[in-house]
Amino acid sequence: MKIACIGDIHGNLHALQAVLADAARRGANTVWNVGDSVGYGACPDQVITRLRKGDITNLQGNYDRKTLMVRKKRAKWSETKKPEKLLAFQWAHDHLSGNNRKWLADLPRELHLEQAGMRILLTHTCENAQKQPIAEDTPLQELEELAKKLDVDVVIFGHTHRPFALRSANCLFVNTGSVGRPEGDPRASYALLDLGSGAPKVEHILLEYDVEDAVHAIRLADLPEEFAQMLYLGIDFDEARRRRFASVAHLGSGKTEALEAAEAMALHIDPADADHARQVARLSLRIFDDLESLHGLGATGRFWLHLAALLHDIGWSQGGRAHHKASADMIMDSQDLPFGARRRLMVANIARYHRKALPSDKHPLFATLNADDQQRVRILAGILRVADALDLRHRELVRNLECKATAKTLRLTCQASAPMAGENQQVHKKADLLELVFGLSIRLQWKEFGGAQAQAVDPRGPHYNHLRQIPLWARAGTMHDPGDHKRQVDREADIRKRQGKRSKK
């Protein structure tokens, strides 16, 4: 009897399909899956649906449990876990159907089986007395002690993503390796267990699969680029993060193509204002980088912000008064932007809130996002609003920018090539969202480019009381203004008309 022992699929449907097909060709009679079926990969629901079909025995792994618990534990985990790892749990949870979540929740954590007269334990993690996972270099004495405690003939497990088999006097320990997130070798791995006559035999299979399609799915879902590099290189998350964008190749053609398409679209719609889009992108990314310890949004958040900054003003082609809404509509509708569904929604929302009303669940596009993505939009749109205000006159006057956060303030120090009185007022007007999401009061300090330092400026005046200026609806925690944000005549459009920068109809 041959049994395909698999595990650590991690939402990688492409690898799972290849492994199951290969196991069938090799004569496997059944499949045992030791868990961690979701997390990181782009296809959690499809993976679970496939595992529910056919003769497959399934366990629940630690990543499966974390995915199921993320809504309850998110606040606590956000204090200790990297944002990308928290996103892996949340994204998998949100992209599982209710029926598949319930099926996953009902799975056992371990199983004791009898096959061909042998006692077999299936478990996701196999640990020694010190709660350390069994590894290839585990001493024989530890194996003997563990085998005596477990009192079985074969233990099948995963968790470490590295395939190996060890024998004690009376027990065979088999780590399946990882189907969907292998480490040390990017090929999908699984174990073929033969329970024929005599002692059990095991063969580890390393299998080529369509990793390009698996990576493409991750990028279409706008999951962090580290998740893609983990598959390409056969490395863990921490190593992928360390290598992040170490070379141009690691950026991935998908993201390069998207940035080129966004810039080309902005240039085509308004060639005269392409420099403004690039300047706002430059300032936005500088603010993002300087505040990374506050927001923790990582490479994917930075990428969304870059795209939204390049595209935020394309709606001017439809008229100035509501061009922020038009920009969002054009991003959603454009066939020239190589965006997946999540990327399109995120970039459209960020661009939409670069001016005027703050994000609200009464806005249909914003309401389609889950709570975590709504908060990401608030942060990134808050950055974009300030960057756009700093280029009020579309003359690229800010030559350098530095942001520093203290306990109560967010200080922006700008070097500019001309007086910036108008920009002071505009930053005051558009800093509202960024101040709300971080709970900090923004202060500006201007330096003449190549000249002396100017006085620190609070654009709201010396008697400004930050808390009193935040309306009650904002202090209460909701992002919707029931006053509907009625404002004065559009200052930006008025200034552009006076300067004759452009003529819009």
Tokens in use for 434? 């960024």
Residue type, 368: T
Question: What pLDDT score does 89 carry?
Answer: 94
DSSP 8-state code for residue 317: G
Question: What pLDDT score does 244 carry?
Answer: 59
Question: What pLDDT score does 129 carry?
Answer: 77
Sheet holding 441-448, edge to edge: 398-405, 409-416, 441-448, 453-457
Closest to 10 in 3D by CA, of 65, 84, 63? 63
Query: How many CB atoms lie under 10 A from the CB of residue 476?
Result: 7
DSSP 8-state code for residue 271: G
Nearest-angstrom CA–CA distance, 82 and 88: 10
Q: Which long-range contacts (CB under 8 A, 24 or more apart) does 443-447 make?
A: 443/409, 443/410, 443/411, 443/412, 444/411, 444/412, 444/413, 444/414, 445/411, 445/412, 445/413, 445/414, 446/413, 446/414, 446/415, 446/416, 446/420, 447/413, 447/414, 447/415, 447/416
Question: What pLDDT score does 24 carry?
Answer: 96
Nearest-angstrom CA–CA distance, 186 and 164: 16
Question: What pLDDT score does 254 carry?
Answer: 66
* Spacing of C-alpha 334 from chain mean position: 23
Sheet holding 110-115, edge to edge: 110-115, 118-123, 154-157, 172-175, 164-167
Q: How many Cα atoms sit within 13 Å of 101 on the Cβ side?
A: 16
Nearest-angstrom CA–CA distance, 252 and 263: 17
Q: Give the chain's domains with CATH numbers.
A: 2-211 (3.60.21.10), 252-499 (1.10.3210.10)
Nearest-angstrom CA–CA distance, 118 and 457: 78
List Cβ neighbours of 33 (8 Å cut-off, separation of 6 or more).
6, 7, 9, 51, 56, 57, 58, 59
Closest to 42 in 3D by CA, of 212, 240, 216? 216
Nearest-angstrom CA–CA distance, 397 and 391: 7
* pLDDT tens sequence for the chain (505 residues): 899 999 999 999 999 999 999 999 999 999 999 999 999 999 999 999 999 998 899 999 999 999 999 989 988 887 788 888 888 999 999 999 999 999 999 999 999 999 888 999 999 999 887 888 999 999 999 999 999 999 999 999 999 999 999 999 889 999 999 999 999 999 999 999 999 878 899 999 999 999 999 999 998 888 888 899 899 889 999 888 777 544 333 344 467 788 888 999 999 998 888 889 999 999 999 999 999 889 988 888 999 999 999 999 999 999 878 999 999 999 999 989 988 888 999 999 999 999 999 999 999 999 989 888 999 999 999 999 999 999 999 888 888 889 999 989 999 999 887 767 778 889 988 999 999 999 999 998 887 655 444 444 443 333 333 333 333 323 233 333 333 333 333 434 443 454 454 444 3
Q: Got the DSSP string for 227-239?
A: HHHHHHHT--HHH
Nearest-angstrom CA–CA distance, 177 and 191: 8
Q: With 0.85 as the threshold, say if the pTM is over it.
A: no
* Spacing of C-alpha 107 from chain mean position: 27
Query: Residues 331, 337: contact at Cβ < 8 Å?
Result: yes
